[in-house]
Amino acid sequence: MHLEETTDEPKVYSWDKRDKSNVENFIIDGKKGETVSRLPGTVNGEQIVIQNCQDSNIYIFDHIATVSVDDCINCNIFLGPIKSSVFIRDCKQCRVAVACQQFRTRDCFQVDTFLLCGTQPIIESSSRMKFACFSFNYKELEQQFKSSGLSIFNNNWSNIHDFTPVPEEDVNFSYIPPESTLSDFVPVPEGAEFESLQLSPDPNASLVPQTWGRRRKLSDESCLVVFFNDGSSAERAIRLIHSLKAKNPQCVLVQSKEILMEPDDSRRVFESESYITAVQGGPVIGLEFNCDGCVSLCQAAVVELMAGTTGLVFVSQSAEAAEKQVEAFYNFADMQMGI
């Protein structure tokens, strides 16, 4: 018998160059009815493989390079910030919480995902998939986001691309109701080893802003608010989101983006010369709010927020102008991010 030579290279994992005794830290295989956890500092930007698990709880409270999840059934999986991609294959009836740059599923059934994704999430040959905005917090999460290069404002969780669509009356994915919380799907682990993490599934305490996404808007009126980088823009954006939510619960944050803009981009989006210098200071943060009377509510909230400061903020001046500004800003953002 003649055997042809093959040029296929064996898979190379990030731990192949590491101490072999630590490999088990990065491969979670064949767990049945177990709870498995990795605490901050135990993964530290390495690759994780999860496979052949059933009826198990898996928690990775650390930043990760990439993750693959294969052949898992009825598992609850929490994944800390992922610098690159997560690929979920041949899984069914699982609940997942993940923050990543790229998200993809293939041959999956009934996977519910609370997601932050820096690019457009992709599903392929998958059905009865459900999605919601990533909603969680713990002590080290903010630093782990920074280590992974993820922005809490760049979340495309609802902008799903289905590679294998079916007729419209029977779509392969839907959105989890907004009143649901992550802890309704993925239980928060208990025990002494987790106490110091200060785990919180409360959406109001989430590090990632809670966005409405592509669900049907509740109002015809939106407002665009853009913070220009002056060292405090991210903090102010978060404060505005919380302030509007607390005082006007009907006002929802539809979407957010953190992007770089050039002077020509500023002219085109804002139709003004006033922001040309400001956009050169670094990434800008754009927020779209939606509710009846949204423009006046946002204007009042920004005036209160910026009192006594010298920072520059753009706020739509009318509902009519806001409609064009929201479209211009987010079309530009999506083009820049390749979405």
Q: Could you tell me the pLDDT band of residue 16, with boundaries at 50, 70 and 90?
A: low
Residue 25: per-residue pLDDT: 85
Triad 49, 51, 57: Cα angle to 5°: 95
From the list 201, 81, 204, 211, the residue with the least C-alpha distance to 141 is 81
Q: Could you give phi then psi for residue 24, rounded to 5 degrees? A: -65, -20
Partner residues linked to 35 by β-bridges:
57
Give the whole-angstrom CA distance, residue 25 versus residue 120.
30
Q: pLDDT confidence of 339, banded at 50, 70, 90?
A: confident
Taking 60 as the threshold, does the pLDDT of residue 21 lie above it? Answer: no
pTM (global) more than 0.75: yes
Among residues 270, 306, 267, 297, the alpha carbon closest in space to that of 286 is found at: 270
pLDDT score recorded for residue 309: 86
Q: Which of 289, 216, 285 is nearest to 250 (CA)?
A: 289
Which pLDDT score, from 0 to 100, does residue 17 have?
A: 53
**What percent of the chain has pLDDT above 90?**
87
> Using one digit for the tens of pLDDT, what is the confidence trace for 120-162?
999 999 999 999 999 999 999 999 999 999 999 999 999 999 9
Q: State residue 1's pLDDT score.
A: 42
Q: Determine if residue 255 is labeled as part of a ligand binding site.
A: no
pLDDT of residue 310: 82
Point out which residues pair with 79 in neighbouring strands. Answer: 60, 98
Structure confidence at residue 170 (pLDDT): 73
Digit-coded pLDDT (tens) for 23-46: 778 999 999 999 999 999 999 999
Mean pLDDT of all residues in the chain?
93
- State how far the alpha carbon of 163 is from the alpha carbons of 160, 171, 172, in Å: 10, 12, 10
Angle at 171 between CA 76 and CA 101, to 5 degrees: 50
pLDDT at residue 5 greater than cutoff 60: no
* Residue 147, pLDDT score: 97
Helical residues (DSSP H) of 170-273, grouped into ranges:
192-195, 233-247, 263-270
CA–CA separation, 39 and 149 (whole Å): 20
When mean pLDDT is compared across 124-128, 146-150, 209-213, 309-313, the lowest value belongs to 309-313
Q: Is 104 annotated as a binding residue?
A: yes
109 annotated ligand binder:
no
Crossing angle, helix 294-306 and helix 319-336, to 10 degrees?
70
